[in-house]
Structure 1
Amino acid sequence: MLSVLRIFVALLFLQHGLMKYFGFPANSPPNFTMFSLAGLAGAIEIVGSLLLLAGLYTRQAAFIMSGEMAVAYFMLRPQRGFFPLTNGGELESLYCFVFLYLVFAGPGPWSIDATRRRAAIA
């Protein structure tokens, strides 16, 4: 189930980066530029999600993506209130802690990381 969680969350998170850069599956944000904070976030979302999806450098990618979500939460939400339910930050909070969980739990058995680890032991 750990691998299923990792793959599913990676596919969900990938949509955010694809939306920013390619306008798929939803329209790009207005005034989006590649060389901005939103552009950096989109790059992290695409590259990190693809790494997570494959299970390659999972812990490192998840750590960076968890940090991105923490920054997104604390930049956008506190001025709207303390609790994620009232300030609209539930998604950032959930992603942040799922990615943090993956940092410590690892990628699971269906991953390139696990395959490389098995090959190194053999």
Structure 2
Amino acid sequence: MNRVLLDPALLVLRAVLGVTMFLHGWQKLTGPGLEGVGGMFDQMGVPLAQVAGPATMLVELVGGVLLVLGLATRVAAAAVLVVSVGAIVIVHWSAGFYAADGGYELVLVLAAMALTLVLTGPGAWSLDAPFARRRSPERAREMVSA
């Protein structure tokens, strides 16, 4: 794919996933709150709900911001991927595919977006980009041959 098209596409992907995750975390923080999110997860049958609830909220809030900024993108996307796969398996799978029925449709899309960022990285329009350029194999060859 042409880099001219790839970088803005990755920016859009990061921004949409990041804002979506952040808003899901914000909903938990301003709804049940840090104390209540564990109880909410317990009602859904999530194991270790008192740990998983706040941890999920933290991944959504912090991970969402990091994705929008393109900072620690692969780590943030991997955390979102783990949370999403956990949500699919533990909460949504039994309800079937469609989100309207409580199914895994939306969470699957979020997981696919996160996996894409784990595999591709954030693109050039990110705060990670300057660090990636310093580590790139091309840059290493330039430094050796200089």
Indicate the TM-score class for this superposition, using the shorter chain for normalisation.
0.7 to 0.9
TM-score (norm: length of structure 2): 0.69
Unaligned residue ranges in structure 1 (runs of 5+) = none
**Which residue pairs with 1:46 in the alignment?**
61
Cα 1:101–1:94 change in 2 (3 A) is same
Q: Of 1, 13, 35, which residue of structure 1 is paired with 2:21?
A: 13
**Residue identity matched to 1:60:** V
**Following TM superposition, by how much is the alpha carbon of 1:114 offset from its aligned partner in structure 2, in angstroms?**
0.6
Unaligned residue ranges in structure 2 (runs of 5+) = 1-8, 39-49
Aligned length, in residue pairs: 115
C-alpha separation between the residues in 1 aligned to 2:81 and 2:37? 23
TM-score (norm: length of structure 1): 0.81
Give the percent of matched residue pairs that are identical in Structure 1 and Structure 2.
30
RMSD: 2.2
For residues 11-61 of structure 1, the C-alpha deviation after alignment (integer angstroms, 9 at most, x for no partner) is: 12110011111x2xxxx1487246442221101101111111111111111
**Which residue pairs with 2:43 in the alignment?**
none
Rg larger for: 2
For the residue of structure 1 that corresponds to 2:36, the secondary structure is coil
C-alpha separation between the residues in 2 aligned to 1:78 and 1:110? 35
1:32-43 correspondence runs (5 A): 32-33=36-37, 35-43=50-58
Runs of 4 or more consecutive aligned structure 1 residues displaced over 6 Å after TM superposition: none
Q: Of 74, 89, 103, which residue of structure 2 is paired with 1:74?
A: 89
C-alpha separation between the residues in 2 aligned to 1:55 and 1:89? 26
C-alpha separation between the residues in 2 aligned to 1:2 and 1:74? 27
Deviates most, 31-40 or 93-102? 31-40
